[in-house]
Structure 1
């Protein structure tokens, strides 16, 4: 360890004190000679790599320059971020390979097609994708990407020439440019001269929400499977165009760590769907290359004892389900330019060098084993159509007859992953035997048995449940007509003009967005608190709870103006809207009934800032911004004392500590709710309002053992971490019974709804029989790991959603997260109902 400390200090002194061209020799002096016509990174940027953090636009500019001055490189863009930053890939290979890249691409893709059987495994260059910086405040990766680009483009060493002749290399320097630039600005603006290594210095402690996440505070490293953000969607589109054989995923971890490379800890699934050769054979094949490279520079590392690839949505796991080898690297972070550790200081250049060395080792291993990698990829896709699944199903059939836009969103996700989908009548079919068989399993299969009980992330990810899509396995081989695009998938009839009223179904996922659009244009609308049927342009039609009625004569606009707004809403959101020329209903309530309640336009406030869970806050912001097209005020905690709450009718609080809300500020919230407003709490915030006694609800408590005979069992100290970890609920899916007559349940036709739980917030059912809106069923497990103790003693007796009366207002308390990772289309409606219908939700009084 003393040697490591000396190496770190020596390198840091070198990188700061030696002229820049010499400083870069520390990274790649063994790769000389370099083409003098190619500008080095320090010549282009004006500083040595590691001397400061490089902005994303500078990275793109440098890679663009390399593509302009070298015949070894081309640059392409595969998308833009939410903040309009370019997502780019630099393709590097020999000039000969680049000149015939289209031909090589076809030869490469032949190995991914089960119908073809090429055997020229060693003759086609290996395709390697080097991906960096998916977490914005783990910046060493992008700096290493700059070094890799220069090395591969400019080095004339026999080693590098061999690499570019035998590989096509795709360098993605920054997967999360928005987060990176947020962190880059922070680190550079707080950089001291001389450098400050004190871990308490501002440079090493970013302000909320920090640079890890993207614009909407999403963790993009969890988004490969979910494909919610443009960064991920662009990358997935690129990925399925090229199917690289090897994919890297460079990260950073705690400052006092060392370095990690694969193999990881064993996969938690009892029967992993990826081939065993991937996580044992290929990982073991590559590991010696990494150890040798790091041994040569005196860097310490570990393997096998941490991280896991169970969740298929990481950059280090998704490619494993596409016939490739995904590789995770974790570097101890300097979180700035120089920081104290238990063994001295760690410098930014030191972290970059380890990532660079591992990048070189990856390329070397891929080139030297290209035949095996190609044969593996070929076998992977062939087995997808040849192997018989244990469950014996030919296909999965699904569809929601009442919600075309939710069907569309789910099918869009399937097509994004190149899963074949067919339409058969009014139902949709996904055959199991297809090249993306393992993705089909990922989407539809659920599990309750695992060989591990401690997961690095979620243990449940069956996307069909995310969307609350009812489905069934079938042995029929009649699939119908293939769907290749979601264009035209939603088919609604244009509503005719009416002088009386219009009615919009509330069952459709896009209905809240259409509602807000109409409200924002000045229309007055009402919600049906009881079902009815009415004569429409399409005959007698039944309408569910929550259906929205727009009375023409009660507007301050002409009937033509009303119709224009209605048509725009329908065209924009593809929602079913019908005309009604009479207030008399064929059954149920009439259109003039008191059971139609006028809806106020939501004026929502979301608490953000230090102590608040940025992931959950970002999910709320993203949902309202990108799907509902509805603004929400994001209020930083330090401004709460100054804000006049009377401007708003809804306050949203997600998980967080909320230590800044003292007794006076808590009273401010309580008084505001009591005046008739709505407080919506999610997960940890629901715990907070109970702990702070804003409501009188309670938590589920385990029945005490009163026998006094249970002795404390001795356990091995070394097992403590695993034993404690297995009681954590990392993420699983459970069934709840939803009261679909409650305003929070409007728009649902089936009381059985899957919910996602990744916390230990167990709410006791309310003592008021009308206030428990959703409760876990008697046997609620659908997918994922939960300990027996948590399942039997805490989850089963608990409520998932309750409403607590507070004065003339109410607190709507979610135990689970209805907006998890922007993907839970099936429970978004619960949250949106709270926003749009909150002022009409009351808790009936009962006798004490």
Structure 2
């Protein structure tokens, strides 16, 4: 009997909320019986199971049907085609006037319009939950909060319904949530097992944190690389909420965190001080009150980062609202042992429920104040923008129409005003041509987002970053840009227009396609898939085309009509179709004799090998980096890629592939036989594309022999330091994510399609490798003064200045292409994607 007593106590603790769910989550509250409770609808109490996303949506549909105070809308779909929904809740009167309320809120955010009477306007509150799929308590809290808003009879609930419009996004990441929910539910024990070693608490790779392509969507509010974020940001700009929440989970041994975050060190440089010094503390009092009432421990003003503008808790701060991050200790399953005893799923849910209520109460109590702040925010943005010495930014790449279009659309998606450039300009040594460049004025309501897109930050209050310390998006797009004090704007751009080109008529000796455009690799893949023979010309030349004399750079594609297997008319028809689909210009030539440079039949022209790609994924491998590569090939270029788990690598016959991608990770699970197979495959002509510490592993195995940078006088740490400073001191040595200027060898195949010798690159590793001993095989290295933006220590910067960005290591007939930067970072470094794609299509030419 004594041995079974702890089980009885545990079972009671786990199940006490089962018998009186409302009393556990909402003690003393009375509910309208006409509104179905979650337990009535689901058939179990919230906290007993992880609720599947489809059931969450169905329950919200039920609420929509049950009450005139609820309205459910689908704003888009995930990669796996789950609906992205928003449940809007308010009094019947406000719901009947919803569009007018929305228009007034948008008017309030526009200083060019008269300020509406804010005393009569309801607070607009956006409760966002579950951006990380394996932080599941928040979506359960969303269910309970929606029920409470509609059914609770307390004065507080009635006040919120009367004076607020509440928008609930139950799960920002439905795909990841269902991946985690399936894991937790299918590994649940009866009774649940609290041991942290239990399988339930240890998800298989890649876990449920990320979306379909293994991206962290809590970083995607700025990049907008995924449909979940794009539809969310589009919806956000239809409402400009006064308050937006972002509910998370952290380690099981933690307590609870709410804002304010760490002063100065974790704050975004463009957000007004009023947000951090007045509004955040004002709201924090409500969170403390609610947490005190249930006896939950909590903390503030530490660690959590609000500097990166792509967070769900930071993006609203740059748009006149208050973004709020909440973190609760996680049960990572249904119950898990912690230093304070067993943490139940229900306990974690309750913490988020009470802070959902606290957020709504604080929003209503500060309704007028927050409306005034919204107008004040955008008025100050206009006035600060008018005083900015830059006055405007000019940008544009004369060689890449697709990347221009993508960047223009990106700015428009963030509601930044963009104008045509009406004259040729020369600024800071860069030329911007009329018709191929654009102007972004600083005097606009989105001035602070303009700064986010075009400014570099180098000075910081702190040297330790939870995330990226640089995010200049014009650099991410590889976009030439410059501040301009006197540029004259042309017409406003309201949509990014896809270019159309006239396909050349008549018979051709060969067709030529410039490799400069972002989508040229996509066209190449589709041509190869269609069975069309394509060659690349590896030196510059000039040809007589249907448009007259045209200068072509190295890397230009050639489709020689005399070497095609199909009928000429069918080849031409397919080429025309694919060129138009991908918006690519095609040139026709009637002779192989060029006007200058090499001729089309030169030995410096060769067939482009059709890629057959294998990528190692799974245990030990960076899911983020693997996901970036998968997403790039899948979504941007429509190219298939075989993903093999590390434990299955031994089953792979590498000779069925010509390209192997090794994302960052730990490859020590590969045995000697597998390593030897890899060496043999490379020596016989295979191409390995290796990223960061995967390259260190290749060095360790003797496959490559590159050398790390070592300073002649390496700074020594002090012999003794206070224990309390260890995290800050050691963290300052890391390269958390910053931007540098690299120099390209434009004659090397990795630089095909580039026309400028310098290129911004993104680095988030402290791996520093010397340039190759072979003077021809370091095609990307850093300039003498490379630091553009973000934090880096003096010692690391000195190492970086002696380092390579890309190194080629020959082995027999094959090679390894080492990337020490992040060419595909977060699906938004469009400027360096082509370096990676060149490695795939032209890898066999690189050594």
TM-score calculated relative to the size of structure 1: 0.96
Cα deviation, 1:660-708, whole Å, max 9, x if unaligned, reads 11222111111111100100001221222123221011111122469xx
| 1:103–1:694 Cα change, 3 Å | same
Question: How far off is 1:13 after superposition?
Answer: 2.5
2:182 is aligned to 185
Question: How far off is 1:9 after superposition?
Answer: 10
For the residues of structure 2 that align with 1:271 and 1:215, how far apart are their CA atoms?
A: 29
- Contact 1:270–1:451 (Cα < 8 Å) also in 2: no
1:821 is aligned to 826
For the residues of structure 1 that align with 2:689 and 2:826, how far apart are their CA atoms?
A: 18
1:836 is aligned to 841
State which of 807, 816, 819 in structure 2 corresponds to 1:802.
807
2:461 is aligned to 451
State which of 774, 792, 796 in structure 1 corresponds to 2:780.
774
| 1:663–1:771 Cα change, 3 Å | same
For the residues of structure 2 that align with 1:719 and 1:474, how far apart are their CA atoms?
A: 43
1:587 is aligned to 596
For the residues of structure 2 that align with 1:551 and 1:10, how far apart are their CA atoms?
A: 79
2:508 is aligned to 499
| 1:414–1:754 Cα change, 3 Å | same
Segment drifting more, 809-818 vs 493-502: 493-502
- Contact 1:497–1:563 (Cα < 8 Å) also in 2: no
Question: In the alignment, does 2:370 pair up with 1:380?
Answer: no
Question: In the alignment, does 2:790 pair up with 1:784?
Answer: yes
| 1:592–1:388 Cα change, 3 Å | closer
1:3 is aligned to none
For residue 36 of structure 1, give the secondary structure of its aligned residue in structure 2. Answer: coil
Q: Give the aligned CA root-mean-square deviation in angstroms.
A: 1.8
1:846 is aligned to none
2:12 is aligned to 13
- Contact 2:107–2:116 (Cα < 8 Å) also in 1: no
Question: In the alignment, does 2:726 pair up with 1:728?
Answer: no
2:158 is aligned to 161
1:321 is aligned to 318
- Contact 1:529–1:545 (Cα < 8 Å) also in 2: yes
Cα deviation, 1:151-184, whole Å, max 9, x if unaligned, reads 0111122210100100000000010000000000
- Contact 2:781–2:803 (Cα < 8 Å) also in 1: yes
For the residues of structure 1 that align with 2:687 and 2:266, how far apart are their CA atoms?
A: 42
Cα deviation, 1:230-282, whole Å, max 9, x if unaligned, reads 00000011001111000000000111111000000124389821110111211
For the residues of structure 2 that align with 1:213 and 1:340, how far apart are their CA atoms?
A: 25
Structure 1 unaligned residues grouped into runs of 5+: 1-5, 843-848
Q: How many residues align?
A: 830
2:23 is aligned to 25
For the residues of structure 1 that align with 2:510 and 2:492, how far apart are their CA atoms?
A: 39
For residue 635 of structure 1, give the secondary structure of its aligned residue in structure 2. Answer: strand
| 1:201–1:768 Cα change, 3 Å | same
Question: How far off is 1:456 after superposition?
Answer: 1.3
Question: How far off is 1:222 after superposition?
Answer: 0.1
Cα deviation, 1:433-481, whole Å, max 9, x if unaligned, reads 1010000000000021111111111010000000111111111252101
For residue 562 of structure 2, give the secondary structure of its aligned residue in structure 1. Answer: coil
For the residues of structure 2 that align with 1:557 and 1:378, how far apart are their CA atoms?
A: 64
> Matches of residues 87-486 of structure 1 in structure 2 within 5 Å?
87-118=84-115, 120-268=117-265, 272-388=269-385, 391-424=388-421, 425-426=434-435, 427-476=437-486, 478-486=488-496
- Contact 1:422–1:483 (Cα < 8 Å) also in 2: yes
For residue 781 of structure 2, give the secondary structure of its aligned residue in structure 1. Answer: strand
Question: How far off is 1:841 after superposition?
Answer: 2.2
> Matches of residues 605-620 of structure 1 in structure 2 within 5 Å?
605-620=614-629
For residue 772 of structure 1, give the secondary structure of its aligned residue in structure 2. Answer: coil
For the residues of structure 2 that align with 1:711 and 1:175, how far apart are their CA atoms?
A: 44
Segment drifting more, 548-557 vs 683-692: 683-692
State which of 627, 632, 637 in structure 2 corresponds to 1:623.
632
4+ residue segments displaced more than 6 Å: 8-12
For residue 90 of structure 1, give the secondary structure of its aligned residue in structure 2. Answer: strand
1:845 is aligned to none
TM-score calculated relative to the size of structure 2: 0.96
- Contact 1:499–1:559 (Cα < 8 Å) also in 2: no
Cα deviation, 1:316-337, whole Å, max 9, x if unaligned, reads 1001001000000001110000
2:702 is aligned to 693
Cα deviation, 1:632-661, whole Å, max 9, x if unaligned, reads 001111111111111000000010011211
Question: How far off is 1:496 after superposition?
Answer: 3.0
For the residues of structure 2 that align with 1:550 and 1:345, how far apart are their CA atoms?
A: 67
Question: How far off is 1:386 after superposition?
Answer: 1.6
For residue 329 of structure 1, give the secondary structure of its aligned residue in structure 2. Answer: strand
For the residues of structure 1 that align with 2:317 and 2:215, how far apart are their CA atoms?
A: 23
Cα deviation, 1:281-306, whole Å, max 9, x if unaligned, reads 11000001001101111100110011
- Contact 1:269–1:449 (Cα < 8 Å) also in 2: no
Question: How far off is 1:342 after superposition?
Answer: 1.3
Question: How far off is 1:717 after superposition?
Answer: 2.1
| 1:705–1:99 Cα change, 3 Å | closer
| 1:712–1:330 Cα change, 3 Å | closer
For residue 302 of structure 1, give the secondary structure of its aligned residue in structure 2. Answer: coil
